[in-house]
Amino acid sequence: MLVLARKLDDSIVIGDNIVVKVIAIEKGGVKLGIDAPSDVSIVRSELIEDVKDANKAAAKDVDSKELDKLSKMLKS
């Protein structure tokens, strides 16, 4: 992991076309601006974890017999 110190209005460049800029430094947090092409997905890590947890919970409630039925229906 690369660790950098940046001040207000400083930025870093990732690759050729992603710029991360320090927009504000406030109590307990830093606001970052990210300029990236529209085909680059930018998601907060805690949201990804929430989706993973929800998917795991949903998978526990699935009846394997129902999945087999669904699989057979999709194949035909």
pLDDT (0 to 100) of residue 15: 95
65 and 76 belong to one structural domain: yes
Same domain, 23 and 47: no
pLDDT of residue 33: 97
* 47 and 36, same domain (yes or no): no
pTM, two decimal places: 0.64
DSSP string, 7-64: -TT-EEEETTTEEEEEEEEETTEEEEEEE--TTS----HHHHHHHHHHHHHHHHT--H
Q: Given this model, what pLDDT does residue 8 score? A: 96
The number of domains in the chain is 2
For residue 14, give its domain range.
1-40
The residue ranges of the chain whose pLDDT is under 50 are: none
Query: 32 with 51, same domain?
Result: no
Same domain, 54 and 21: no
- Does residue 5 sit in the same domain as residue 35? yes
